[in-house]
Amino acid sequence: MRLSERCADNSVIINAKGSTKEEILNELVDTLCASYKLEHRDEIFDAVWKREQTRSTGIGCGLAVPHAKIDYVDRMCMVAATVEEGIDFDAMDNEPVHLLILIVSPGNTVGPHLKALSSVSRILANAEVRKDLIDSKNQVDFLDILGKAEDKYL
């Protein structure tokens, strides 16, 4: 699954402002709702936050992949954010998170959601790709780097 093709306009936040897990998730959900013209913002945030409370999606190496399945969306939606300073996200390796990819899928689907999570893991296992994405200067740069990584790793 090509993640770069799933991103809507203005779906990448370069150097997000949030300094806590809750603030950054709010920023991601706000961007998600604006980019995809979604309603039910609070319900979407609550689902993402509830998922995060059961187990952190900070998977290590500066990466977090918050995700949720939600009845309020009719298609998979994704947004990404870089955080120059890094934030505490209760990651498995206890290191700060600098790159986040939020994935929200319809509640009645399984395959595409799992494929997206698998693609994120495969592409972002490469430290150089993660660093290049974190160092992106704008959305076009971010999506170009992601697309080239997809060409190589998918």
Rounded to a whole number of angstroms, the distance between the first and last alpha carbons of the chain is 8
What domains can you pick out in the chain, each with its CATH number?
A: 3-153 (3.40.930.10)
Beta strands in 71-119 (DSSP E): 77-87, 97-106
Would residue 106 be called left, alpha or beta, if left means φ above 0 and alpha means ψ between -120 and 50 degrees?
A: beta
Residue 113 amino acid letter? H
Long-range contacts, stretch 54-57, CB < 8 angstroms, 24+ apart: 56/89, 56/90, 56/91, 56/92, 57/89
**67 is an active site residue:** yes
pTM value?
Answer: 0.94
> Mean pLDDT across the stretch 75-79?
93
Catalytic residue (one of 40, 67, 98, 113)? 67
Q: What is the pLDDT of residues 2-61, one digit of tens each?
A: 888 878 889 999 999 999 999 999 999 999 999 999 999 999 999 999 999 999 999 999
Q: What is the pLDDT of residues 2-19, one digit of tens each?
A: 888 878 889 999 999 999
